[in-house]
Amino acid sequence: MARKLPRKDVVIIGLGWTGSIMANELTDAGLQVVAIERGPWRNTATNFAPNYAQDELRYRIRHELFLRPAQTSFSFRNKTSETALPIRNWGAFMPPNGVGGGGVHWNAETWRFLPSDFVLKTHLTQRYGAKFLPNDMTIQDWGVTYDELEPHYDAFEYLCGTSGTAGNLRGQIQPGGNPFEGPRSRPYPTPAQRQGYSHTLFAQAAASLGYKPFPQPSGNLSQAYTNPLGVRMGPCTYCGFCEWFGCANYSKASPQTTLLPVLVRKPNFTARDLSEVTRINLDASGKRTTGVTFIDTSGDEWEQPADLVILAAYTIFNVRLLLLSGIGAAYDPVANKGVVGRNFTHQTISNIVSFFDPEKFNFNNFMSSGSIGMCIDEFNGDNFDHGPVGFVGGGYMGQVQTNARPIQGTKVPPGTPQWGAKWKQAVREHYLSTVNPGTGVHGSMYSYRDVYLDLDPTYTDHLGLPLTRITMDFHDNEIKQNAFLTDKFAEIFQAMGAQQMSKQYRKAPYDITDYQTTHLCGGAIMGTDPKTSATNRYLQSWDVPNLFVTGASSFPQNAGYNPTGTLCALAYWSAKAIREQYLKNPGPLVHA
Amino acid sequence: MTDIRRRDLLVGTAFALLGKAAGADVIAGALPWSPNAASPPLPVHPGGWHFFTEAESALAEALADRIIPPDPGPRGTPVAVPGSAAAAATTPAAGSATRDTARASGSAHANGTGSTSGATGASGPAPDYRTEWCPGGREAGCAVFLDRQLAGPYGQSEGLYRKGPFQKGSKTQGEQNPETPAQLYRRWLAALDKYARSLQDGKPFVEMSTDRQDVILAGLESGSVELEGVDAKDFFKHLVMDLQTGFFADPLYGGNRAMCAWKMIGYPGAHYDYRDWIDRHNERYPHPPVAITGAPGWIPRS
Amino acid sequence: MPERTHGAGSLIAAIGVTIALAVALGCGTPRAQEIPNGQDYEQIERGRYLVLIADCAACHTADPSKPLAGGRPIETPFGTLLAPNITPDQDTGIGNWSDDEFDAALRRGVLPDGKRLYPAMPYSYYTRMSRSDVTAMRAYLATLRPVRNPVQSDQLPFPLSVRSVMVVWDALYFSPGVYRPDPKQSTSWNRGAYLVLGPGHCGACHTPKTLMGGDKNRDALEGYNLQGWFAPSITNDAAQGIGRWSADDLVAYLKTGHNRFSAAGGPMGEEVQDSSSQWSLEDLRSVALYLKNPHGEAPAGAGSTTAAAAAATPATGTPLAANDARMVAGANIYSDLCSACHAPDGTGVAYLIPNLAGSPNIAQRDPTTLIRVILQGARSVATREEPTDPMMPTFGWQLTDDEIAAVTTYIRNSFGHAAGAVNASEVHSARESLRPGASD
């Protein structure tokens, strides 16, 4: 039997980015808040210090900071006709674990989505007609607009100190920035990061082809910064150990470097680490949550009663807790009914490794940051006419190389042996003159009827609870999109002077072993219709109004950008609705 | 301190030092901290084999030297590298644990007189560590690396999802093998040894010429050589991946001895600050690499 | 480092040396006229502020749920003292004491039964407080919730347990008497002097001690080694003290725990958190004025010039040569491990990462604090104004004694410092003394 803890006003499940933002906003409103985190507490100086954080084997290859699959994993299949098998070791994406969540080990690429992304279905239908979209594509409008989110994007960027060059300031296009971005109310809080040689050459090549390159918006800061909460950050040192790693010198925006120091000082905030929420409890009516049940690492079970529950775990775990708790109708792809698990998406990523003349080019790409890079946005979203190309969606592309760590960063030109003397000499000759952007083409993935999440009938986690089952494959629209974008990307490297290129198009079937990004989205999406969304536009559960579900699980489909800026803006947007509307009159904020 | 936490009371214990997971905790009032708190890695100590038998270790070392062969020529022969101007003239003395005097005197802001790192000073081109003769996988410690990995969490698939039922799936669903790397390597090495002895003169793999060894390995890679009871291509894929991982990992794990692999490619290792360098486009970074356990330039003369 | 051999003197001296600093800093507000014994709000509020300034809780609170109920152990090499219960409990606290008895304890070190206090209780500083301030503190303490908590304060072995030996100590080192304002100086300067010399008892930690544990008054505030830390010099000397800091830097440090040069950690971090961060800005400005001008204020208008000149004054002496083997190794270690936070030129990040040119912990004659912070890491204090709580990682697991000696030597002879070399044996002793279980 679970032992009952004293009641709190709010319990937050997961202390990553959105959990921290929610905790800060709701404690500011005077509420008693407890955050329950599955993983351990992590601090900069004690968990990723500058004298051992830079360990590629430990953190990148052996996944030190991530969830252990032995604790819980997912099962995966491409098609509903197949038997899903468990993911035994992480591959395509890396579920975070511990305080700070993905905010600890992200690259800090801090993008905004395009205004048209939020009204995607309406926009595409108006421009191209409904028949232009594939039959089984299930894209939706979000129920919130860019203009509504703009102040919250701004709040998040100023929390993080994001380094960048504005492209659209209150409607005025700015030189050097992204001319396609939505209007922003203020410039970035800090100037863009400095760029390495390969990033700079890429921008020159892109400009020579008529594109408008701009620096990637970066949560690795170009200079020291003090955020509105009074928390100080240092300047990024271009160490090349960003994604998969914790930042050792307070220069990457994370809950640790922007929020937690203030949060822990508040008398109305407490956190519990190493405690895994197993259920969101409902009262007899099933329409109201009474709190959560969790199990700590000693195996003790506890009940934390609360008036308001914020579900702020990683995308798939948000969906899983809803399914395990029986909140919202589980999605059924055959009947095309139900909401929890539908519109699950990832990202459509590809890469080109380019080899340059070692006599002429020395890129030193080991000096880098997580969100360094020069990008173009000409082929993102609906920034170009899709009529002639026969697909929808797009992405940014750029030389966004974050590192040249040698276990993974020693590439050899096509045709070179993978071992032996020739391999060794090729590695030696090409290491400093190779350009390997990683997620160089960062494309959207739109939603489809047969890409979804549910509970696995066979495989269970360490507690005996069913794993979440992923059913996912790439569809022709995304494959076409990627081929188009990858070829455009290659033209830029050609102009840059590459001698050889290894083009790695994204192709079906979706491969769970091949790292793409950790940008899994959807499954508990926001929207305007309870029949096709799990939450309303304020991230409030349609079924249980004292439950809010934050994070990328709310994205109806994924855009061609990294999701963190948007999911954090949504957290601020939702917190504002709770503070200004819900607390005055607890109940549904939108009546269906 | 307003909130004294359980963890704070474990001040400075080896417990905290080794980063062992403490129990679930309540955090309030202040960020947790205690003296000596850290989760540093545990370095591999050389000597002996923790997983391999003597015979397996000999085979593993022979394989390491074929996957990553020693540079041609006798030890110390400089290697020509494109982009390394006047390579021979600036090759650092072979095997010298070069003290990084260039950096110390050139970059130093010692006494407040320095500005930005001048790196090489006026004493001619900086050494290009890539031109140093680089040993093979055996001498670099790649077999030791593999031995310690197989004896440790990697060998036991620790932390991975291990629940059954194990079923064969599609390639896109990832490996579904109930065996751990430790179990697999035991069978793989035995199968390779058996195969080698089954050839005409019955010689064990380790006694073959390197040319013959390479022919067998190429056969494993292509699938033309089949080993009894094991998936030879899968074996070879893992072998290459694991040995090359050891070659390029921090030397604390047993491979990349003396940072030979990092020098070979011009990678500075665990250095954490390139603010002085990010704007210096198309310039070779002149400093020798540094590892988590240190660099030759750290040790002061007593 | 001869400073750290403090076991050599008489036993009494040893007590004074090792204990005096364990106590937090004192306080007071001088008033021209004494307020009668009324239990009025103003007096109680003033008493609360004085108890805060004196940081009585630093020693007298062991359990945060029982403020000032005593029981916090103060460890010495010779035994443990427990701070007594000063809540108004009749049996186990000071509820039965008269105001005169309270005053005698605070300002003369004499208990109601005539026994002598050990100088862990800084009565030699509190003696400079006014009677009115002491009475206000008493009035405030009387409003606390009485907590029954018997404390056997004195756990020292014989003969140290014989408190009458303190009579001798008092005769040597205790000069009673309230602070007398210097009429030539401003009210603010006098207030600062009163706080520093009296209730603030800064010298309890920062003033060198004789072998008998008494203050070396001629070396006032020049720094002192206690409890495994070196409380740095806080004189206005540019090389070793706070001469490179402006008065505003000092105020920011005491108020927020951080300034553009440095951050408070260790015992000073506790002091900032529990006490000086809550002092009034006016009092902190007075303290800064006094510490920057201990011999009196310069003529009007010249103060800032003096400070600027002091800041520009290079360290006296010559730093070790850059080609010294220890300097070369230290520079390499610094570049590989330290520069990512402290910057290649040692400037750090203002208010986040200490500036090694301007932090007073670098070039002290005694490198104890520098070695300790490198060995086991440190946390800086988090305050309302500076909540970031940046921490120094531990390098003790990674660097050998030789390497720590080299990097310490490098830092102490770079960035404008010329503070001499540190040798590996010093690092070794520090490492041994910081082992869990080792006594300080």
Interface contact C391-A237, CB threshold 8 A:
no
- Percent residues over pLDDT 70 in chain A: 100
B292 in C contact zone (CB under 8 Å): yes
Digit-coded pLDDT (tens) for A55-81: 999 999 999 999 999 999 999 999 999
In this structure, the answer to whether residues B102 and B75 fall within a common structural domain is no
CB-CB neighbors (< 8 A) of A45 in chain C: 377, 379, 390-393
Q: For chain C, which chains pass the contact test of at least 3 CB pairs under 8 Å? A: A, B
pLDDT band at C47 (very low <50, low <70, confident <90, very high): very high
Question: Based on the domain organization, do B198 and B222 belong to the same domain?
Answer: yes
How much is the pLDDT for C436?
Answer: 77
Residue B182 sits in the same domain as residue B209: yes
User: Which residues touch A299 (CB under 8 Å, ≥6 apart)?
Assistant: none
Residue at B36 is within a domain: no
Evaluate whether C121 touches C109 at the Cβ level (below 8 Å): yes
Q: A290 with A305: CB under 8 angstroms?
A: yes
Complex ipTM above 0.90? yes
Asked if the C-beta of B26 comes within 8 angstroms of chain C's C-beta atoms, the answer is no
A161-216: pLDDT as tens digits: 999 999 999 999 999 999 999 999 999 999 999 999 999 999 999 999 999 999 99
Report the largest interatomic distance among the alpha carbons of chain C, rounded to a whole angstrom: 70
Task: Let me know if A519 is a catalytic residue.
Answer: yes
Q: With contacts defined as CB-CB under 8 Å, which chain A residues touch B264?
A: 424, 427-428
pLDDT at B109 > cutoff 60: no
Which of the four pLDDT bands, split at 50, 70 and 90, describes residue C176?
Answer: confident
Same domain, B73 and B216: yes
- For residue B282, is it within any domain? yes
Range from B135-149, C92-106, C297-311 carrying the lowest mean pLDDT: C297-311
d(CA B163, CA C54): 61
| Percentage of chain C modeled with pLDDT above 70 | 82
Smallest Cβ distance to C346: which of B99, B100, B109?
B109
- Among the ranges given (B71-75, C104-108, C151-155, C356-360), the one the predictor scored with the smallest mean pLDDT: C151-155
Grouping H, G, I as helix, E, B as strand and the rest as coil, residue C284 is helix
More confident residue, C342 or B100: C342
User: Best mutation site among C66, C313, C336 for testing chain B: the one with the most B CBs within 10 Å?
Assistant: C336
B188, B60: one domain: yes
More confident site: C39 or C42: C42
B24 CB neighbours in chain A (<8 A) are 272-275, 296-298
pLDDT computed for residue C59 by the predictor = 87
Nearest Cβ partner for A50 among C337, C382, C388: C337
What is the distance in angstroms between the Cα of A572 and the nearest Cα belonging to chain C?
22
Going by pLDDT thresholds of 50, 70 and 90, the confidence category of residue A555 is: very high
pLDDT at C27: 33
Q: Does C406 touch chain B (CB under 8 A)?
A: yes
Give me the pLDDT at residue C159, please.
Answer: 57
CA distance A147 to A153: 10
- The SS3 assignment for A15 reads coil
**Using an 8 Å Cβ cutoff, are A232 and A250 in contact?**
yes
B9 touches chain C (CB under 8 A): no
- Tell me what pLDDT residue C438 has: 66
> How many domains, in total, are found in chain B?
2
Single pTM value for the model: 0.92
Q: Give pLDDT tens digits for C414-428.
A: 999 999 999 999 999
Retrieve residue C278's tokens.
Answer: 């809550």
* pLDDT tens, residue by residue, C137-152: 999 999 999 999 998 7
Query: Which of A485, A487, A492, A499 has its CA nearest to residue A399?
Result: A492
**Are residues A248 and C349, on separate chains, in Cβ contact within 8 Å?**
no
- Nearest by CB to A264, from B31, B173, B278: name it: B31
Whether residue C341 is predicted with pLDDT greater than 60 in this model: the reply is yes
Least confident piece of the model among A139-153, A174-188, A507-521, C70-84: C70-84
Among all residues of chain A, which has the CA nearest to that of B213? A420
Segment C63-86 shows an average pLDDT of 81
pLDDT for position C213: 75
Which of residues 393 through 412 in chain C touch A, CB cutoff 8 A? 393-395, 398
In this structure, what is the dihedral angle of CA atoms C184, C189, C190, C191, given to the nearest 10 degrees? Answer: 160
A54·B270 Cβ contact <8 A? yes
Over residues A87-104, mean pLDDT: 97
d(CA A294, CA A304): 8
Instruction: Tally helices (H) and strands (E) across chain B.
Output: 11, 1
CB contact under 8 A, C332 and B105: no
Question: Is residue B232 assigned to a domain?
Answer: yes
**A414-418, C24-28, C257-261, C316-320: which range is least confident on average?**
C24-28
Listed by number, the residues of chain B in 242-281 with a beta carbon closer than 8 Å to a beta carbon of chain C are 270-273, 275-276
Tell me whether residues A51 and C392 touch, CB distance under 8 A.
Answer: no
Q: Is B153 in the C-facing interface, judged by CB distances under 8 Å?
A: no
Residue C332 near chain A (CB below 8 Å): no
Q: Report d(CA A290, CA A26) in Å as an integer.
A: 18
B219 is in which domain, residue-wise?
54-79+132-158+177-265
Say whether B253 and A57 touch across the interface (CB within 8 A): yes
Q: How far is CA C416 from CA B51, C312, C317, in A?
A: 53, 10, 11
Query: Could you tell me the two tokens for A421?
Result: 């003397």
Q: Which amino acid makes up residue C330? A: G
Q: Look at C414 and B108 and tell me if their CB atoms are within 8 Å.
A: yes
> Domain check: are B140 and B192 in the same one?
yes
Together in a domain, B114 and B204:
no
State the nearest Cα–Cα gap between C229 and chain B, in angstroms.
13
Distance CA A374, CA C196 (A): 56
Rg from Cα positions in chain C: 22
Chains near B, with 3+ CB pairs < 8 A? A, C
Which one of the listed residues A152, A346, A386, A519 is annotated catalytic? A519
What is the pLDDT at residue A342?
98
- Regarding whether B58 and B148 lie in a shared domain, the answer is yes
- The reply to whether B28 falls in a domain is no
CB contact under 8 Å between B33 and C326, yes or no, is no
Alpha carbon of A163 to those of A242, A398, B181, C243: distances in Å? 16, 17, 44, 36
Both structure tokens of A519 = 């940008």
Q: What is the mean pLDDT of residues C83-105?
A: 94
pLDDT over 90 at B5, yes or no:
no
SS3 A48: coil
Residue C205 has pLDDT above 50, yes or no: yes
A542 contacts A327 by C-beta, under 8 angstroms? no
- Phi-psi group of A479: left, alpha or beta (phi > 0 → left; psi -120 to 50 → alpha; rest → beta): alpha
User: Which band of pLDDT confidence, cut at 50, 70 and 90, is reported for residue B230?
Assistant: very high
Q: Do C349 and A234 touch (CB under 8 A)?
A: yes
Domains of chain A in sequence order:
3-70+81-582 (3.50.50.60)
**pLDDT confidence bin for B10, thresholds 50/70/90:** very low
Minimum CA–CA partner of B105 in chain C: C322
Best to test chain C binding among B7, B8, B33, B36 (most C CBs inside 10 Å): B36
Assess if residue B185 is contained within a domain: yes
Of residues B115 and C133, more confidence is placed in C133
Q: Give which of B117, B128, B173 to mutate to test A binding, by max A Cβ within 10 Å.
A: B173
pLDDT tens-digit map of A259-301: 999 999 999 999 999 999 999 999 999 999 999 999 999 999 9
Looking at this protein, which amino acid is placed at residue B150?
L
pLDDT at C34 > cutoff 60? no
Residue B166 lies in a domain: no
Interface residue A235 vs chain C (CB under 8 A): yes
Q: Which of A84, A273, A361 sits opposite B282 (nearest CB)?
A: A361
pLDDT of residue C161: 62
User: Dihedral (C-alpha) C276, C279, C282, C286: value to the nearest 10 degrees?
Assistant: -40
Of B31, B71, B292, the CB nearest to A55: B292
pLDDT level of residue C309 (50, 70, 90 thresholds): very low
How many interchain CB pairs under 8 A, B with C?
A: 141
In this predicted structure, the answer to whether residue B106 has a pLDDT above a threshold of 70 is: no
Say whether both B284 and B184 belong to one domain.
no
Q: Examine the domain organization and report whether B153 and B259 are in the same domain.
A: yes
Tell me, yes or no, whether B1 lies in a domain: no
d(CA C327, CA A251): 29
Give residue B40's pLDDT: 94
Give the nearest chain C residue to B18 (CA atoms): C397
In C110-255, the DSSP E strands lie at 224-226, 229-231
Q: Which residue has the tokens 């390579």?
A: B87
Asked if residue B40 belongs to a domain, the reply is no
Judged against a pLDDT cut of 70, whether residue C32 lies above it is answered with no
Same-domain pairing of B97 and B242:
no
Q: What is the mean pLDDT of residues B182-211?
A: 96
Task: Point out the least confidently predicted range of B30-34, B88-92, C273-277.
Answer: B88-92
Do B185 and B245 lie in one domain? The reply is yes
